[in-house]
Structure 1
Amino acid sequence: MNEKLCAYLSYEDAPAALWWMTELGFAVVRRQDGPANEVIHAEVRLGDVVLMVASTDAAYARLPLIGRSTGRGLYLLVDDVDGYFDRALAAGGTAVIEPEDTEWGTRRARVLDPEDTEWTFGTYEPGAAW
């Protein structure tokens, strides 16, 4: 088996989080709901990216925004940083870093989703040859 990293996210309002992700362009490819409108398990896909999403099962602490980061987040490699940033804000996200060109020749932007999960959209490809 080849190793893969699969991210999962828990949300207090997982149905709303799934809606927000679909506004970015993700497609819900699997979803199992519980009896109280909670999401037991869902998977969303955008190209080769797959995220697992569920409703929270505890009162998890969220990391606060300090400066321009929570210290943890998701990085989505995209061609159209500005377009993803605009869609994220239109769907209820909060701007953290407006789209900008970086000193290393790439473009990036950062938002918090409606439950304060940090999302960075960028053109830098981690792991690519330097």
Structure 2
Amino acid sequence: MAAIQVVTPHLVVSDANAAIEFYKQALGATEAVRMPAEDGKRLMHAELNLGGARIFLMDDFPEHRGSHGVDAVFPPDQIKGTSVTMHLEVENCDAAVKRAADAGAVVTLEPWDSFWGARYARIMDPFGHSWSFAHTLPGKG
């Protein structure tokens, strides 16, 4: 039997509880799991469902850097950027961008009709993670 390969983003943020609420409002995510840390404030782990995909989420634990293999894991607000954009295929790119912006995201690329046949846009969420949205333009897919 062949191994199943699934890529699941595991986001690190400075306030996982707030991030969960943002992703619910802005992206329509649903919460599957929430595991609080011993301090009762931060989350060790959370799992969201987003359009059939799973997203893991956790608070930053700087006190554990140097142990448990987390030496180079920082939330975007600490590194002043991110090197990854999560992409979502949506029914309506413009509506998805508006929903995210209304929830507090910053639109970094307004929706436009791309040369590859998609209506495409990007946002930055309040936690420093980049997201893109697209739908196929009529007659292009």
Q: How far, CA to CA, are the matches of 1:104 and 1:47 in structure 2?
A: 23
Greater Cα radius of gyration, structure 1 or 2: 2
Give the equivalent residue in structure 1 for 2:68.
none
Q: How far, CA to CA, are the matches of 1:6 and 1:20 in structure 2?
A: 19
1:26 and 2:33 aligned:
no
The aligned amino acid for 1:113 is: D
SS across alignment from 2:112: strand
Gaps of 5+ in 1: 65-69, 125-129
1:62 and 2:79 aligned:
yes
The aligned amino acid for 1:62 is: I
Indicate conservation of the 8 Å contact 1:62/1:116, yes or no: no
Q: How far, CA to CA, are the matches of 2:125 and 2:80 in structure 1?
A: 13
Gaps of 5+ in 2: 63-72
1:111 and 2:123 aligned:
yes
Give the equivalent residue in structure 1 for 2:53.
49
RMSD: 1.8
1:12-47 per-position Cα deviation (integer Å, ceiling 9, x unaligned): 011111111101200001111123310111000023
The aligned amino acid for 1:50 is: R
1:61-114 per-position Cα deviation (integer Å, ceiling 9, x unaligned): 4353xxxxx542111111111111111111111110011110111111100000
The aligned amino acid for 1:30 is: V
Cα gap change, 1:63/1:123 in structure 2, threshold over 3 Å: closer, same or farther? farther
Indicate conservation of the 8 Å contact 1:27/1:44, yes or no: yes
SS across alignment from 1:121: strand
What TM-score, normalized to structure 2? 0.78
1:15 and 2:17 aligned:
yes
Cα displacement (A) at 1:123: 2.3
SS across alignment from 2:45: strand
Give the equivalent residue in structure 1 for 2:111.
99
The aligned amino acid for 1:74 is: M
4+ runs of 1 displaced by more than 4 Å?
Answer: none
Aligned residues: 120
Normalized per residue, which structure has more helix? 2
